[in-house]
A and B are shown apart, each in its own frame.
Chain A
């Protein structure tokens, strides 16, 4: 037992663990921030997984063509947006079921990325590490928060930006209204399905950026399997956070920490079964959801399509 506590101490005392926790958490945060906006507008956007993968792939292509990380990130955003446009138009213009569309979009992107990667196989590279002076010298968390590759830092301004959009703009108010009571929003002159599409598209942009960040800011190469279901963890993070911005970001960090913990254990020489550790984030998510879901109120119209005049 003391061995076990020592081991935990070793792991949680090592700066590398926090570094990777922030990296993994930031990746989730890109997707989860956008997903939060989409869910506030009333859509469980399952295609966030597809948006992440599309962003990773187009990001790699953008980098391969231009040699610029910036343009690669922009290309990633466009890739993520493309999937969101498909999702938004199918589910909030044509009223096809949002889960069906989302799942199919994920399968489509997985197939497309695999098929195109076999003939294009874009070469990517990892962006340089940029240490923010002074801040990165803080003990323990300093290097983790401020000693990362520079695309990581993009997630920091996105958090206040998303907050500002949701809670301090007219657009955000309308988005939230549309997710709570679409009938009332419609009566007061808001184009419900348009706001929903826009919310999903914002999510697509962010998820695409997240995918591109994974390739250009973290791994340095594109692989079809690299997202591997973490888009779904991002959705779970929104639930974890009780549909609040702070909670969502916290959820991302907790899942990032769980993932980093899994990676740190074998590196430090402890023998725990790898599969059991790999299941940890998912089990954690489910446990948290079982405890927490009832205590938060989800957007009232979540996953309910809106058709004017129908309830």
Chain B
């Protein structure tokens, strides 16, 4: 991501692998524990019992009938967004505009699904492709700005989120664009028409739970991206660029090209996430403002939590999705569901601490060794 991340990986492991592994485990347990305790304290502060909140979350996420299907369904787009973040981060770029890219993707899916005619399967596949390309192109714009004009992508991707949100608002309030023109629907002002049933994504039913084929797509893509990053020349070039741009240039990696593809893939995955959400009944198959319901931001946090390792994104996406679907059951306990956002953010912060401490220690040890070497 920045110099610190790359140098951190390059440091040799100090003396006593076992001792440091135990230390790291203890650090992780302590900091995650602290995040959970703070969340619990907040709940108690407002006069509620955290045990009740905890069991409501578990019921809502997994144990109540039909719930784990929902958790899986919501985990899929989060995983895709996180995957996109990972690809960009590996190339040393920080795409934080997934929320907007996801909306653009979903918007294209809605356009293809409601405005074009044709066989359902064709519309579904075509719409998904359009969403993927649109999300990618929307992200690639920032690459052009970065490499041509030196605009940092952290700022430009972020500002484009707000532009995307307004574009969406414009599209769904304009008749010739996406606004539902069905006169029989009274609240048609703010959303698109519903997708036709034969453009819906197929459903998987197991043990009384339903989840989206998007889950399979997301997992397969995770494996593909993991492979691409770790085992292909393309992935090697990206990592080289992320690790050390100067070395990459000397090795013949064209930063403009590699960086632009990384941002394109990153946005494309977010766009696909939007299409998958729309075609699996998110917001009852209708596209409108607020459609993304923060999945773009949460996917970003998932990637941060997974420390940019694609495979780790799977459990982390599940965790975040579980917290989210679980929060649906919080109403019965009288606790505001925003507590889940607090817990998520605290978890991310908590997981940043142990590697940072370990890094600082290694650093100090290294300095001490260097000083010792000089005097001897």
A residues in contact (CB < 8 Å) with B? 44, 46, 86, 90, 94-101, 103-105, 107-108, 110-112, 114-116, 118-119, 229, 232, 235-236, 239, 273-276, 278-279, 282-283, 285-286, 289-291, 293-294, 303-305, 307-311
Contacts of B301 in A (CB 8 A): 103-104, 107
Contacts of A116 in B (CB 8 A): 46
Contact in complex: A108, B342 (CB < 8 Å): yes
Contact in complex: B346, A108 (CB < 8 Å): yes
Contact in complex: B94, A114 (CB < 8 Å): no
Contact in complex: B96, A104 (CB < 8 Å): no
Contact in complex: B345, A90 (CB < 8 Å): no
Contacts of A276 in B (CB 8 A): 166, 170
Quick one: given A94-B356, A275-B173, A293-B151, are A232 and B5 in contact (CB under 8 Å)? no
A300 to B301, CA, bound (A): 28
Q: Kindly provide the distance from the CB of B96 to the nearest chain A CB, expressed in whole angstroms.
A: 6
Q: Kindly provide the distance from the CB of B174 to the nearest chain A CB, expressed in whole angstroms.
A: 8
Contacts of B42 in A (CB 8 A): 112, 115
Select A303's contact among B2, B47, B166, B366, beta carbons within 8 Å. Answer: B2
A98 to B154, CA, bound (A): 12
Contact in complex: B359, A278 (CB < 8 Å): no
Q: Kindly provide the distance from the CB of B49 to the nearest chain A CB, expressed in whole angstroms.
A: 14
Select B159's contact among A107, A286, A309, beta carbons within 8 Å. Answer: A286
Quick one: given A44-B154, A289-B155, are A304 and B3 in contact (CB under 8 Å)? yes
Q: Kindly provide the distance from the CB of A292 to the nearest chain B CB, expressed in whole angstroms.
A: 9
Q: Kindly provide the distance from the CB of B70 to the nearest chain A CB, expressed in whole angstroms.
A: 21
Q: Kindly provide the distance from the CB of A216 to the nearest chain B CB, expressed in whole angstroms.
A: 24
Contact in complex: B339, A95 (CB < 8 Å): no
Chain A to chain B: the 3 pairs with minimum beta-carbon distance, closest first: A111-B341, A108-B345, A279-B166
Interface status of B363 (Cβ within 8 A of chain A): yes
Quick one: given A97-B4, A110-B341, are A289 and B356 in contact (CB under 8 Å)? no
Q: Kindly provide the distance from the CB of B89 to the nearest chain A CB, expressed in whole angstroms.
A: 10
Q: List 11 A-B contacts (CB under 8 A).
A: A96-B353, A97-B1, A97-B2, A107-B344, A111-B342, A114-B336, A293-B151, A294-B149, A303-B2, A309-B370, A310-B3
Contact in complex: B1, A99 (CB < 8 Å): yes
Select A305's contact among B4, B154, B349, beta carbons within 8 Å. Answer: B4
Most buried by A among B47, B149, B341: B341
Quick one: given A103-B96, A119-B46, A289-B155, are A90 and B352 in contact (CB under 8 Å)? yes
Quick one: given A97-B2, A115-B336, are A294 and B150 in contact (CB under 8 Å)? yes
A105 to B344, CA, bound (A): 11
Contact in complex: A275, B166 (CB < 8 Å): yes
Interface status of B160 (Cβ within 8 A of chain A): yes
Contact in complex: A305, B3 (CB < 8 Å): yes
Q: Kindly provide the distance from the CB of B367 to the nearest chain A CB, expressed in whole angstroms.
A: 6
Q: How many A-B residue pairs lie within 8 Å, measured between CB atoms? A: 162
Contact in complex: A114, B304 (CB < 8 Å): no
For residues 304 through 332 of chain B, which have their beta carbon under 8 Å from a beta carbon of chain A?
304
A65 to B160, CA, bound (A): 39
Quick one: given A94-B357, A97-B4, are A107 and B162 in contact (CB under 8 Å)? no
Contacts of B96 in A (CB 8 A): 99, 103
Contacts of B2 in A (CB 8 A): 97-98, 303-305
Select B4's contact among A95, A118, A229, A275, beta carbons within 8 Å. Answer: A95
Q: Kindly provide the distance from the CB of B46 to the nearest chain A CB, expressed in whole angstroms.
A: 4
Contact in complex: A290, B363 (CB < 8 Å): no
Can you name the residue of chain A whose Cβ is closest to the Cβ of B166? A279
Select B155's contact among A103, A105, A236, beta carbons within 8 Å. Answer: A236
A304 to B5, CA, bound (A): 11
Contact in complex: B352, A94 (CB < 8 Å): yes
Contact in complex: A290, B163 (CB < 8 Å): no
For residues 326 through 376 of chain B, which have their beta carbon under 8 Å from a beta carbon of chain A?
336, 338-342, 344-346, 348-349, 352-353, 356-357, 359-360, 363, 366-367, 370
Interface status of B300 (Cβ within 8 A of chain A): yes
Interface status of B25 (Cβ within 8 A of chain A): no
A110 to B366, CA, bound (A): 40
Can you name the residue of chain B whose Cβ is closest to the Cβ of A276? B170
Return the CB mask of B148-190 against A: 1 if under 8 Å, else 0.
0111101110111111001101100110000000000000000
Contact in complex: B151, A101 (CB < 8 Å): no
Quick one: given A94-B360, A229-B162, are A111 and B339 in contact (CB under 8 Å)? yes
Contacts of A239 in B (CB 8 A): 155
A290 to B143, CA, bound (A): 12
Select B363's contact among A44, A104, A236, A307, beta carbons within 8 Å. Answer: A307
Contact in complex: A118, B338 (CB < 8 Å): yes
Quick one: given A275-B170, A278-B166, A310-B3, are A290 and B360 in contact (CB under 8 Å)? no
Interface status of B54 (Cβ within 8 A of chain A): no
Return the CB mask of B18-40 against A: 1 if under 8 Å, else 0.
00000000000000000000000
Most buried by A among B1, B155, B156, B336: B155
Most buried by A among B3, B353, B357: B3
Contact in complex: A99, B154 (CB < 8 Å): yes
Contacts of B162 in A (CB 8 A): 229, 232, 279, 282
Contacts of B167 in A (CB 8 A): 275, 279
Contact in complex: A286, B156 (CB < 8 Å): yes
Contact in complex: B169, A275 (CB < 8 Å): yes
A119 to B161, CA, bound (A): 31
Interface status of B247 (Cβ within 8 A of chain A): no
Contacts of B149 in A (CB 8 A): 289-291, 293-294
Select A279's contact among B1, B163, B300, B356, beta carbons within 8 Å. Answer: B163
Contact in complex: B338, A115 (CB < 8 Å): yes
A289 to B155, CA, bound (A): 10
Interface status of B297 (Cβ within 8 A of chain A): yes
